[in-house]
Structure 1
Amino acid sequence: MSDSTRRTEAAPAWARALQRLNQWMMFDLGGGPRPLKLAWVINLQKAGSFPFFGCLIWFYADRTPAATSTAAWLYLALHGSYGLNWLLKDLLFPDAKWQGRATIASSVLGAIGLAAYWLAGWLIISGRTSMAYPLPAPAWYALCVSLCLLGCIIMTASDVQKYCTLKLRRGLITDGVFSRIRHPNYLGEMMVYGAFALLAWHWIPWLVLAYFWGLLFSTNMVMKESSMARYPEWAAYRKRSWWLLPGIL
């Protein structure tokens, strides 16, 4: 066995186990035919964000003032626009990891899991969160909007750079958005959904994010680093870059 192969397989046992579990849940649950691309399931949820939250505002408009509050309309704009941005990115720069086909059971489970991302908006629009922010509401809104927009830019820019670079050459990407952060696409998405959770100011969205970030994102990042270790320039790149944020190697 070569050194490069040994380095590629050096991921912790927990990460390898979680990756197998995640892959099974996303693509193979229940067995049988795989009629749907996982990307189609994801894109359906992204495309549905604007109409879903619009319908929620309409449904709750006569039931609670929260449905037509500034926070509700702001959430509609942020989450809905993020969904459209994702669709445009997937149309022009599709990510290969989402193009695999999934069983019916995996597709249903994926749709349910992705729908959990909508809970923050439902809490705001239905009036089930007090939104007792630690700052005045306008300042908190400015914080959430800024975090969401910056995260969306980082996520989109890194995915586009990865797509274009790998079309031209295979190998480690160490410049551009990746020059100082090894996983900017995950960082960007975490910032976006973190902004949604902050806007809702309720524990339920954070519980959802803890599952995705703790079991899915972290596993993918650890496995990716194990794979990248096969490149000769990996050691130097790892030394001068951050995992996600300064101080988090």
Structure 2
Amino acid sequence: MSESVSPSAPPAWAVAMRRFTTYLSQDFLGGPRPWKLAWVVNFQKAGTFFFLGALIACYHNTSTAAWIYLAMHGSYGLVWIIKDLTFPDPSWQVKVTIGGGINSFLSVLGWYWVFGWLLISGTARPDYPLPDAAWFCLCISLCILGCAIMIAADAQKYFTLRLRRGLIDDGMFRYVRHPNYLGEIMIYGSFALMVWHWLPALVLAWVWLGLFAVNMAMKEASMSRYPQWAAYKKRSWWLVPGVF
């Protein structure tokens, strides 16, 4: 067991934002808590492949971009289900109110389905900065690499903590303190690049700043209780090695 020291207090803005998002996603309207938050998340993740397939059929859009987007976003959702069945994240197992579960879908998860609708319905008519084939290659590569980073980081965290508690500062976490979030950012960034519309950029700005940045700030405050934290923070990066 690692020796502990007094942890740093999390930033006030992160605490306030965490309180706000927790109310919206877990406690909204109060009442009984019949659902796990994981059930709401998994419904959206597992349903994405079928939702996008239905959009392709509905709009008779069999373009290369539509099929690629289905493969990217739909397959990612199925990968998430496999991950959840194999090494579930304990933070998703919290029980939520019905209002909180519905609000979680409407305020975040459902907007991810809007990405695919924009592209497949023809509402978004992307004019990519590169030739289509090169842009598709970029988006697919970003999605695959993001999935690998996210899966590897979550697996390392899950199985390491089953054996020992303490600071994880090797493997996927050796140079980046939040590789799982880096992977998620790469994945959803690839979806936004495929759609090439202002709305996905707005949604991701809300998720990355309102949820991801808050979670990372709270995690850093928690990790500061370990004696190795100061040295680890000094030699590692927040998200992207050599950048920040």
The normalised TM-score by structure 1 is: 0.94
- Native 8 Å contact 2:32 2:97 kept in 1: yes
For residue 71 of structure 2, what is the aligned residue in structure 1?
77
Query: Aligned letter for 2:38?
Result: A
For residue 200 of structure 1, what is the aligned residue in structure 2?
195
Matches for 1:177-188 after TM superposition, within 5 Å: 177-188=172-183
Q: How many residues align?
A: 240
> 1:248 and 1:145 mapped to 2: Cα distance?
23
SS at match of 1:4: coil
> 2:192 and 2:5 mapped to 1: Cα distance?
41
For residue 246 of structure 1, what is the aligned residue in structure 2?
241
Q: Report Cα offsets for 1:223-247 as digits up to 9, x if no partner.
A: 0000000000001100111000134
In the alignment, is residue 87 of structure 1 matched against residue 86 of structure 2?
Answer: no
Identity %: 60
> 1:141 and 1:230 mapped to 2: Cα distance?
44
> 1:26 and 1:166 mapped to 2: Cα distance?
26
Matches for 1:28-107 after TM superposition, within 5 Å: 28-61=27-60, 67-107=61-101
> 2:213 and 2:243 mapped to 1: Cα distance?
13
> 1:132 and 1:220 mapped to 2: Cα distance?
34
> 2:19 and 2:73 mapped to 1: Cα distance?
30
In the alignment, is residue 172 of structure 1 matched against residue 167 of structure 2?
Answer: yes
For residue 64 of structure 1, what is the aligned residue in structure 2?
none
> 2:210 and 2:36 mapped to 1: Cα distance?
22
Residue 119 of structure 1 and its aligned partner are, at CA, apart by 1.5
For residue 232 of structure 1, what is the aligned residue in structure 2?
227
- Native 8 Å contact 2:175 2:241 kept in 1: no
Query: Aligned letter for 1:106?
Result: G
In the alignment, is residue 116 of structure 1 matched against residue 111 of structure 2?
Answer: yes
Q: Report Cα offsets for 1:54-109 as digits up to 9, x if no partner.
A: 00001000xxxxx2110000000111110010000000100000000000000001
Structure 2 unaligned regions, length at least 5 = none
Residue 4 of structure 1 and its aligned partner are, at CA, apart by 3.4
In the alignment, is residue 156 of structure 1 matched against residue 151 of structure 2?
Answer: yes
Q: Report Cα offsets for 1:192-229 as digits up to 9, x if no partner.
A: 00000000000001111011001000000000000000
Residue 248 of structure 1 and its aligned partner are, at CA, apart by 4.4
Aligned-residue Cα RMSD (Å) equals 1.1
SS at match of 1:147: helix
> 1:44 and 1:130 mapped to 2: Cα distance?
29
Q: Judge which range, 119-128 or 226-235, deviates more.
A: 119-128
> 1:102 and 1:96 mapped to 2: Cα distance?
14
> 2:55 and 2:146 mapped to 1: Cα distance?
25
Residue 22 of structure 1 and its aligned partner are, at CA, apart by 1.4
Runs (4+) of structure 1 moved beyond 6 Å?
none
| Greater length-normalized contact order (CA 8 Å, ≥ 6 residues apart) | 2
Query: Aligned letter for 1:87?
Result: I
Residue 30 of structure 1 and its aligned partner are, at CA, apart by 0.8
Structure 1 residues 20 and 58, CA gap change in structure 2 (3 angstroms): same
For residue 147 of structure 1, what is the aligned residue in structure 2?
142
> 1:106 and 1:248 mapped to 2: Cα distance?
36
